[in-house]
Structure 1
């Protein structure tokens, strides 16, 4: 066997540019630019292989000899050291690409499409609560339908909506992994759904308050607090809670409230915003809220930001009411159907619903703002009891 350890520390440090053998296939290659590299030359299966094992700045002579001996042992076992090293690196990378790591990366990539950049956490929470604690540490390339089935089986029937959301997020995560160049099974979620079977869960509509009872509830919100005023504006405008909670003074001009597309459900990426005609009562509520505003937001929370999406719901729960804030949209819709002859397109547009097929929408270039204005005024008159001879009492 060729002599080993030919070089000394002094030689390594002071040698001019050139190639210097330490024996056993270990070479020090010094370049004209001052750089230096350790190289191991071996022959495996009659083929000469050359692999870098580090630069002189980070790998000492002693460390280079130890590394060289490790790879010479691999050669003695009849294996290609470069292939073995590449495989080790792939396995190490696989450990870094766990389901949890890739899911977080997928979430980051989608944040710009989510409300408030996903700060509410609703997109990620089905994974965070029901999937990642069980299989989050598994390399994403190893995830199969059985892993997904086992993770979601406990909630597949009991919390079907959440389970479906988790399955959807998993599918997005696997597609993201594939885009990263990882070898994943893109059909794993479909196969898992087949294994889990059809859900027995039946979707439940959000409880709503019958429209004749709304005036009494509205009258029970006299306090000038963010919760009471937010509920009043939500009822009067028939919009969802998110736009109300993030209502900003800059969005209101005269008697029109322009809700940014980013704050509207399903509106991400649209150029147009959604305009809401404000009744006199709605304008009065906004005036009452202005002194409470913080950083322009009409309904701030006690500490920072705006009131949470649960604040209004908890208020109704404490009143022992079955109805929930979102249900006032159903109250409004039912009132429209039963007490007005307003065309469906006007009513649905008031609720920010998509009306008609793609072709019909392409020709209808209006949000019917002025036709919606008298409807919202009539609704406000009903809500405030101005056009009713009797108001049903709400506990």
Structure 2
């Protein structure tokens, strides 16, 4: 009888329950006529091992022989074919957990916490632009501090803020991978920071106009264009440019403008809707802007959507001014401290800042609306060149 290739494909299909040798350690174990399994018996390092090669008839006789030949070759090379197969499966499994896949999964799990469900892309963009092009196809378990250093070194000093964001997002991805049960080095980002060294980049604040110079600039915004009116309302209210640019008529109720929570800066759960008191000067600007409104938005762009932040900034650039639109929040804050003597919590609330710890906020049920209205009325008098005494505010 032949010592190998004893079975035939046709004969294997008709065999009943039992164990049948094909030779050279390959066996067909039949549980019943219609199905069974292939088993290879090998001796590795003096130990007898049995290695499954798949179910019959899903794995044909020819395939079983091919798998058996590959396993015997590993034995001849001094390797354990069972352990080698396990290692190969682990490698294949790791390739299903590339950084790009984990990053997308981490992003999806956090969308509900992000402003506008993360649609603006600000959370994911540092990863997408500076991490994933180089490390996206690397198994996350393989990423170490040297990989991270080499990835961020080109922007570590030139674009420090962006590099910090990218490093922070990567750290979140590693923690997400660990929660999924993957073996990762959670300390790799901090080790990379040590390798990168302290950034030479100096953080510069957005240039702000001194509050005493604001009236002259406000008076120059007089041609009734969308950009001029937007800047006027930005100055009068102290809000950020994004909610102002997306101001919709439905957000205004009488002399109160309510900015939805998701339109405020930061996480969706960081604050509730924010009420902005509208003094007569602000209401007059809004009434004038309604003549330009499109689809309910008071400050539309020329073609579609609303004006961009750059529209207002370019206006100031063309006048060769150092200050920028966002800087008017600083102008207002300085005026509140230097000229109005406003209580800290009221002044900070005017800028939409979260004041106090979570316990303090839980017990404070006021947003200082009327106190802020009085201060903004005084601010409007200042920016329009009117005079008046400083309003004394009582802490709520």
Alignment TM class, shorter chain as reference = 0.7 to 0.9
Give the TM-score normalised by the residue count of structure 1: 0.82
**CA distance 1:154–1:359, change in 2 (3 Å):** same
Aligned to 1:23: 22
Please say if residues 38 and 64 of structure 1, whose CA atoms lie closer than 8 Å, have aligned partners that are also in contact: no
Give the TM-score normalised by the residue count of structure 2: 0.82
Secondary structure of the corresponding residue to residue 325 of structure 1: coil
**CA distance 1:21–1:277, change in 2 (3 Å):** farther
CA shift digits 1:17-70 (9 cap, x unpaired)? 8678582425376879x8x5753343444444342536756x555444433432
Q: Cα RMSD over matched residues?
A: 3.3
After superposition, residues 110-125 of structure 1 pair within 5 angstroms as 110-125=110-125
- Cα deviation, residue 184, structure 1: 1.2
Secondary structure of the corresponding residue to residue 38 of structure 2: strand
- Cα deviation, residue 99, structure 1: 3.0
Aligned to 1:53: 54
Please say if residues 7 and 21 of structure 1, whose CA atoms lie closer than 8 Å, have aligned partners that are also in contact: no
CA shift digits 1:213-235 (9 cap, x unpaired)? 32333344445555444333322
Secondary structure of the corresponding residue to residue 337 of structure 1: helix
Secondary structure of the corresponding residue to residue 269 of structure 2: coil
Aligned to 2:261: 261
CA distance in 2, matches of 1:330, 1:242: 16
Aligned to 2:183: 183
CA distance in 1, matches of 2:175, 2:100: 14
**CA distance 1:335–1:93, change in 2 (3 Å):** same
After superposition, residues 1-395 of structure 1 pair within 5 angstroms as 2-4=3-5, 6-8=7-9, 12=13, 21=20, 23-24=22-23, 25=26, 27=28, 39-45=38-44, 46-53=47-54, 56=57, 61-222=61-222, 226-270=226-270, 272-290=272-290, 292-294=292-294, 296-302=296-302, 305-387=305-387
CA distance in 2, matches of 1:113, 1:260: 15
CA distance in 1, matches of 2:113, 2:32: 50
Please say if residues 292 and 298 of structure 2, whose CA atoms lie closer than 8 Å, have aligned partners that are also in contact: yes
The answer for unaligned runs of 5 or more in structure 2 is 389-396
Identify the range of structure 1 (246-255 vs 71-80) with the bigger mean alpha-carbon deviation.
Answer: 71-80
Identify the range of structure 1 (59-68 vs 228-237) with the bigger mean alpha-carbon deviation.
Answer: 59-68
**CA distance 1:157–1:19, change in 2 (3 Å):** same
Please say if residues 40 and 68 of structure 2, whose CA atoms lie closer than 8 Å, have aligned partners that are also in contact: no
Secondary structure of the corresponding residue to residue 378 of structure 1: helix
CA shift digits 1:91-116 (9 cap, x unpaired)? 12333433333333323322222222
User: Size of the alignment, in residue pairs?
Assistant: 383
- Cα deviation, residue 371, structure 1: 1.2
**CA distance 1:181–1:212, change in 2 (3 Å):** same
**CA distance 1:288–1:247, change in 2 (3 Å):** same
Secondary structure of the corresponding residue to residue 310 of structure 1: helix
The answer for unaligned runs of 5 or more in structure 1 is 389-395
